[in-house]
Structure 1
Amino acid sequence: LIDVQECQRRGIEVHWVDRGGDVTYHGPGQLVGYPIMALGALDSTGRLPRADYVAYVRRLEVALINTLAGFGIVAGQRRGLTGVWVQPDMASRCPSCPPAKRLAPAKIAAIGVKVSAAGVSQHGFALNVAPHMDDWDLIIGCGLQGSPSVSMEELLGSDVPGLEQVAEAAALSFARAFDRELEWVPAARVLASAAAPHPASSSYAYSSPQGRPHAQG
């Protein structure tokens, strides 16, 4: 809703990326996770069946829904749409939310992914923990007119957990959703392992307690 020059004036960087999901926002106070995973066996044409990567997005949503449930927030999916949503009847728990968020389902986590020709996932999700929500007014999130965004902080107030606590909960939920074993390792080890070849049977989800979760399949 503003041009690139105005974004620059506000200190906002604009990046064009090759994934689905239309325009979104990343900023301080969000938990951003970009899983890099082999999503399954390729078919006879050397491609990943569509059902496999649609199922991947649905599992991402389930992992985030379960993460939010652990902090007392009831969220869910919306038919035909991607992301994680809080329904209007939750507005009673959101005294600081503006009226628009009391009239329609509000998105608390956005998802935008790409799957390479080799069947490896790229990009991922952004969960609104405690970002500056006014920045969402600068875009039409995911291209969905009339669909507001909401944060955990708006719903929980002063009880909102810190990013590190949410990251650890999300890593555990992710491992359960994808039936992976979870091993906590330093972020430096995760980055080093990314440069080394891994067998297709690798079955660990990695995360650093000091940083955001990383996944590897």
Structure 2
Amino acid sequence: MGNKTIELQDLGLKDYKETWDYQEGLFQAIVDTKIRNRRQNAQETTRNHFLFVEHPHVYTLGKSGDMANLLVDQAQLDAKGASFYKINRGGDITYHGPGQIVGYPILDLENFFTDIHKYLRLLEEMVIRTLAEYGLKAERSEGETGVWLDVGTPFARKICAMGVRASRWVTMHGFALNVNADLGYFDLMIPCGIKDKAVTSLNVELGKAEVPMEEVKQKLLAHFTSLFEAEFKKK
């Protein structure tokens, strides 16, 4: 039986690049353990991590992304107080900012199951079940990773973006759920490279000025625990 305990950290508001570097360190430590185990025919337990974070305004472009989907230049980014990074996850362009819950599960999937497709579907299911607790019917959109509302209608809108990287069955990057996000920042890009689709946030859907972020995090963790048959411990 693999190690299904996950070390949980809430990093608060943290710079994207600093968080990315931190993720890379945790990711590489797990990969290194797996390499040692294979070379030495050992059974050293691999660790699992889950990071919650909010980022200052930032746009990130995945490996297969198109720069044309960022609709502003560096000077305009500077004027909006936003930064930009090309990164090593899948997917196209994504925005992160205050009021958005970003989750980075850094897991050895060999502790759970070895199926990236299943991993992504379970992350989506975690968000779908969380939003259901707020009375929202969220869904998947065929061929488009993430979580959406009113799929198949002219009013389809995305509420949660996802993009992951995996190597040797170790994951990094993850999901970004708009809770109290400033949706104006999405106008500066073509979200995930998908034209003619809107973006929304939980507070907008509920008609509230603000939804408690900690409340949403606890719901996400409860559904993650159930779906992955895992347990969390705070680091």
Query: TM-score of the superposition, structure 2-length normalised?
Result: 0.66
Equivalent residue letter for 2:222: L
Worse-superposed segment, 71-80 or 20-29: 71-80
Deviation per CA, 1:25-73, whole angstroms, max 9, x where unpaired? 00000010010001127xxxxxx96xx1111111100001001111111
Residue 76 of structure 2 is matched in structure 1 by 6
Residue 156 of structure 1 is matched in structure 2 by 206
| Deviation at residue 104 of structure 1 after TM alignment | 3.2
| Deviation at residue 157 of structure 1 after TM alignment | 1.2
Q: What is the alpha-carbon distance in structure 2 between the residues aligned to residue 160 and residue 108 of structure 1?
A: 15
Residue 135 of structure 2 is matched in structure 1 by 72
| Deviation at residue 75 of structure 1 after TM alignment | 0.2
Higher strand share: 2
Cα 1:36–1:104 shift into 2, 3 Å? same
1:172 and 1:182 in contact (8 A); partners too = no
Equivalent residue letter for 1:35: P
Q: What is the alpha-carbon distance in structure 2 between the residues aligned to residue 115 and residue 88 of structure 1?
A: 28
Q: Of the candidates 84, 94, 109, which is equivalent to residue 160 of structure 2?
A: 109
Deviation per CA, 1:129-170, whole angstroms, max 9, x where unpaired? 011001111110111011111111111012752111101111
2:141 and 2:151 in contact (8 A); partners too = no
Runs of 4+ in 1 over 3 A off after TM superposition: none
Matched, 1:60 2:123: yes
Percent of aligned positions that are identical: 38
Deviation per CA, 1:73-96, whole angstroms, max 9, x where unpaired? 11011111100000069xxxxxxx
Equivalent residue letter for 2:129: N
Matches within 5 A, 1:66-215: 66-87=129-150, 103-116=154-167, 118-158=168-208, 160-183=210-233, 185=234, 190=235
**Alignment root-mean-square deviation, CA:** 1.9
Equivalent residue letter for 1:77: R
Q: What is the alpha-carbon distance in structure 2 between the residues aligned to residue 129 and residue 161 of structure 1?
A: 7
Residue 213 of structure 1 is matched in structure 2 by none
Residue 36 of structure 1 is matched in structure 2 by 106
1:110 and 1:127 in contact (8 A); partners too = yes
Cα 1:159–1:70 shift into 2, 3 Å? farther
Gap regions ≥5 residues in structure 2: 1-70
Q: What is the alpha-carbon distance in structure 2 between the residues aligned to residue 2 and residue 159 of structure 1?
A: 28
Gap regions ≥5 residues in structure 1: 42-47, 90-101, 191-217
SS of residue matched to 1:64: helix
Q: What is the alpha-carbon distance in structure 1 between the residues aligned to residue 222 and residue 151 of structure 2?
A: 28
Residue 27 of structure 1 is matched in structure 2 by 97
Deviation per CA, 1:100-137, whole angstroms, max 9, x where unpaired? xx823110000011002x21101000000011001111
Q: What is the alpha-carbon distance in structure 1 between the residues aligned to residue 151 and residue 122 of structure 2?
A: 23
SS of residue matched to 2:208: helix
Equivalent residue letter for 1:17: I
Q: What is the alpha-carbon distance in structure 2 between the residues aligned to residue 31 and residue 75 of structure 1?
A: 17
2:93 and 2:193 in contact (8 A); partners too = yes
Q: What is the alpha-carbon distance in structure 2 between the residues aligned to residue 37 and residue 82 of structure 1?
A: 19
Worse-superposed segment, 157-166 or 106-115: 157-166
- How many equivalent pairs are there? 164
Deviation per CA, 1:168-215, whole angstroms, max 9, x where unpaired? 1111111111111244x3xxxx2xxxxxxxxxxxxxxxxxxxxxxxxx
SS of residue matched to 1:158: coil
